[in-house]
Amino acid sequence: MSNFTPASLPDLTGFRILITGGHSGLLISPCLFSLFLSIGIVTIENFAKIFRGLTTTTELARHRAKVYIASRSRSKAEQTIQKIITTQPNAEIEFIEMDLADLRSVKKGAEEYLTKETKLHILINNAGVMCTPFSLTAQRVEAQFQTNYLAHFYLTQLLLPTLQSTSRSLDTLLGTIRIVNVSSDGHAKLTPKEGIPFSDMTMEHVSTWTRYGVSKLAQVLHAKEVARRYGPNGIIALSLHPGTVKTNLSAGPRGSTWWYKVVQPLVELGAPGPEKGCWNTLWCAAGSDVKKSENGSYFEPVGKRGKASVHAEDVQMAEQLWGWSEGVLRDNGL
């Protein structure tokens, strides 16, 4: 689907969308931004090029969806909303507080969403960290694994009843409810030979790159398992690699891996800007060309069915991961 552009998205009037990390680190104040905007130094479009979460949110709102940004930072999310509204006064965007590093916060955020809405058409599990130093979360799970995968597993579990009931009342253009996991080609390149290391899920003694790869593999497996379990109920779950894009994500590897600063220009050489970095996410979330027969698939930019790794195709591994994840929730009284 290489001729996709955000302009080809359908009208999303009436859609409710929740995206984690939908603000992506805006760094200047609304006043300064408005000044830059008024004297023509920036436009929302070229500012959005710097931030993928922002560009995804901006495009979905431009197509008239109501978008909820689930973020751990009220100030960043509110700055983002302010900036989008500067150029799209009718944009409907709200903030939901959610820190993926604490599953209690995920629960609170999901509950807050459900006090505001009875429907959810698209859930985009986008937020993530990469190559952060080893640490455990409040639930004693490795931090990258929880932020990138487990918190999104839990969020999806909490919202599945609403996604399913929305599916039953569906009268929309897309004809399906979507769950989109923003994974990475690292799901194949950075994982240990056994795939998900069930015998040592704390992963303290493997490299931070491996921990990232495992979290991204888990996201691909999760989409496949959701598709298998809930496809018959009208849910389409996809995973994707957005491409290599210059974003704040590289702060992780720059901080943890001395040589990354040296190779980063090479890694990012020729990489598209984030204005294109969000296209695959947009295509999976709201593109009209997604086929029910592709439920559970992994996509490369843009809308190209990608080759998921052998582990990512392992149905038993997907089931085992699901069981492991439910176990962690149970152990934490969630």
Ligand X SMILES: NC(=O)c1ccc[n+]([C@@H]2O[C@H](COP(=O)([O-])OP(=O)(O)OC[C@H]3O[C@@H](n4cnc5c(N)ncnc54)[C@H](OP(=O)(O)O)[C@@H]3O)[C@@H](O)[C@H]2O)c1
Candidates 82-90, 125-133, 169-177, 284-292; binding stretch for ligand X (CB under 6 A): 125-133
Amino acid present at 78: E
- The answer to whether the beta carbons of residues 301 and 279 sit under 8 Å apart is yes
Write out the binding residues for ligand X, residues 242-261 only, by CB under 6 A: 242, 244-245, 247-249
CB atoms within 10 A of CB 247: 21
Candidates 81-89, 110-118, 171-179, 239-247; binding stretch for ligand X (CB under 6 A): 239-247
Q: Look up residue 95 and give its two tokens.
A: 């903030």
Does 184 engage in binding with ligand X (CB under 6 A)?
yes
Does 222 engage in binding with ligand X (CB under 6 A)?
no
Adjacent-strand bridge partners of 19: 69, 124
Torsion, CA 299, CA 276, CA 97, CA 213, rounded to 10: 40
CB atoms within 10 A of CB 33: 20
Is 212 catalytic? The answer is yes
Does 24 engage in binding with ligand X (CB under 6 A)?
yes
Q: Look up residue 315 and give its two tokens.
A: 């149905």
Work out how close the CB of 311 gets to ligand X at its nearest, in angstroms, rounded to a whole number.
17
Does 213 engage in binding with ligand X (CB under 6 A)?
no
Does 217 engage in binding with ligand X (CB under 6 A)?
no
Q: Which of 15, 65, 91, 128 binds ligand X (CB under 6 A)?
A: 128
Write out the binding residues for ligand X, residues 85-114 only, by CB under 6 A: 98-101
Q: How far apart are CA 283 and CA 302, in angstroms?
A: 7
Considering 154, 212, 230, 298, which one is annotated as catalytic?
212
Q: Which of 60, 81, 103, 129 binds ligand X (CB under 6 A)?
A: 129
Work out how close the CB of 71 gets to ligand X at its nearest, in angstroms, rounded to a whole number.
6
Tell me phi and psi for residue 293, to 5 degrees.
-70, -15
Of the pair 21, 195, the CB lying nearest ligand X is at: 21
Does 167 engage in binding with ligand X (CB under 6 A)?
no
Does 21 engage in binding with ligand X (CB under 6 A)?
yes
Does 52 engage in binding with ligand X (CB under 6 A)?
yes
Half-sphere exposure of 191 toward its Cβ, with a 13 Å CA cutoff? Answer: 25
Does 301 engage in binding with ligand X (CB under 6 A)?
no
Of the pair 167, 283, the CB lying nearest ligand X is at: 283
Q: Which of 66, 76, 83, 222 binds ligand X (CB under 6 A)?
A: 76
Considering 66, 83, 216, 224, which one is annotated as catalytic?
216
Across the chain, which distance is largest between two alpha carbons, in Å? Answer: 58
| Among candidate residues 136, 255, 131, the one with its CA nearest the CA of residue 201 | 136
Place of tokens 């751990």: 72
Q: Which of 12, 17, 19, 25 binds ligand X (CB under 6 A)?
A: 25
* Secondary structure (DSSP) of 101-157: T-HHHHHHHHHHHHHH-S---EEEE-----SPPP-B-TTSSBHHHIIIIIHHHHHHH
Cα dihedral across residues 282, 283, 288, 294: positive or negative: negative
Tell me phi and psi for residue 92, to 5 degrees.
-110, 105
Work out how close the CB of 183 gets to ligand X at its nearest, in angstroms, rounded to a whole number.
7
Is 149 catalytic? The answer is no
Chain residues that interact with ligand X, rule: CB under 6 A:
20-21, 23-25, 51-53, 71-73, 76, 98-101, 126-130, 147-148, 182, 184, 241-242, 244-245, 247-249
Catalytic residues: 212, 216
